[in-house]
Structure 1
Amino acid sequence: MNGVLNILKPPAMTSSDVVSHVRRILMQKKAGHTGTLDPGAAGVLPVCVGRATKIADYIMRGDKEYIAEITFGAETDTQDSYGSVTRTCESNIMKEMLACILPDFTGKLLQRPPMYSAVKHEGRKLYQLARKGIVVEKPLREVRVHEIELLGGTCNRFLLRIRCSKGTYIRTLCADMGEALSSCAYTSFLMRTETCGIRIEDTYTLPEVEMLMQAGDVERAVQPMEQVLSFLEPIYCDPYLYRFLTTGTPIDLAKAKLSVEPDKEYTVYCKGELIGIGKKERDTLKIVSMLKELGDLRR
Structure 2
Amino acid sequence: MNGVLNLLKPPAMTSSDVVFHVRRILGQKKVGHTGTLDPGAAGVLPVCIGRATKIADYIMHGDKEYIAEITFGMETDTQDSYGRVTRVSEGDITRKQLESILPGFTGKLLQKPPMYSAIKHEGKKLYELARKGITVEKPPREVYVHKLELIRGMQNRFLLRIRCSKGTYIRSLCADIGRGLSACAHMSFLMRTETCGFRAEDAYTLPEIEELAGGGKAAAVVQPMEQAVSFLETLRCDPYLYRFLTNGTPVDLGKANLRVQADTNYAVYCKDELIGIGKKAGNTLKLVSMLKELGDSRR
- TM-score of the alignment, normalized to the shorter chain, above 0.5: yes
Question: Which amino acid in structure 1 is aligned with residue 275 of structure 2?
Answer: I
Question: Which amino acid in structure 1 is aligned with residue 48 of structure 2?
Answer: C
1:10 is the counterpart of 2:10: yes
**Deviation at residue 255 of structure 1 after TM alignment:** 2.2
Aligned to 2:171: 171
**Deviation at residue 288 of structure 1 after TM alignment:** 1.1
Aligned to 2:112: 112
Q: Percent identity?
A: 76
Q: Which runs of 5+ in 2 are unaligned?
A: none
**Deviation at residue 87 of structure 1 after TM alignment:** 1.9
Q: Matches of residues 65-214 of structure 1 in structure 2 within 5 Å? A: 65-214=65-214
- The CA distance in 1 between the partners of 2:285 and 2:266, in whole Å, is 10
User: Structure 1 residues 244-253 or 92-101, which shifts more?
Assistant: 244-253
**Deviation at residue 297 of structure 1 after TM alignment:** 1.6
- The CA distance in 2 between the partners of 1:100 and 1:164, in whole Å, is 20
Cα offsets for 1:140-189 (capped at 9, x unmatched): 10101111010000110000000000000000000011111111000000
- The CA distance in 1 between the partners of 2:258 and 2:176, in whole Å, is 48
- The CA distance in 1 between the partners of 2:60 and 2:142, in whole Å, is 16
Question: Which amino acid in structure 1 is aligned with residue 69 of structure 2?
Answer: E
Aligned to 2:246: 246
Q: Secondary structure at the match of 2:160?
A: strand
- The CA distance in 1 between the partners of 2:135 and 2:263, in whole Å, is 38
TM-score (norm 2): 0.98
- The CA distance in 1 between the partners of 2:241 and 2:185, in whole Å, is 58
Contact 1:111–1:143, Cα closer than 8 Å, also in 2: yes
Cα offsets for 1:210-268 (capped at 9, x unmatched): 11111111112111111121111111112121111100011122322111112211111
Aligned to 2:227: 227
Q: Which runs of 5+ in 1 are unaligned?
A: none
Q: Matches of residues 254-265 of structure 1 in structure 2 within 5 Å? A: 254-265=254-265
**Deviation at residue 285 of structure 1 after TM alignment:** 1.3
- The CA distance in 2 between the partners of 1:296 and 1:83, in whole Å, is 52
Aligned pairs, number = 299
Q: Secondary structure at the match of 1:257?
A: coil
Question: Which amino acid in structure 2 is aligned with residue 92 of structure 1?
Answer: D
- The CA distance in 1 between the partners of 2:118 and 2:217, in whole Å, is 35
Aligned to 1:42: 42
Contact 1:72–1:91, Cα closer than 8 Å, also in 2: no
- The CA distance in 1 between the partners of 2:254 and 2:135, in whole Å, is 55
**Deviation at residue 296 of structure 1 after TM alignment:** 2.0
CA RMSD of aligned residues (A): 0.9
Aligned to 2:290: 290
TM-score (norm 1): 0.98
Q: Secondary structure at the match of 2:258?
A: coil
Question: Which amino acid in structure 2 is aligned with residue 66 of structure 1?
Answer: Y
Q: Secondary structure at the match of 2:207?
A: helix
Q: Secondary structure at the match of 1:8?
A: strand
- The CA distance in 2 between the partners of 1:172 and 1:134, in whole Å, is 19
**Deviation at residue 60 of structure 1 after TM alignment:** 0.7
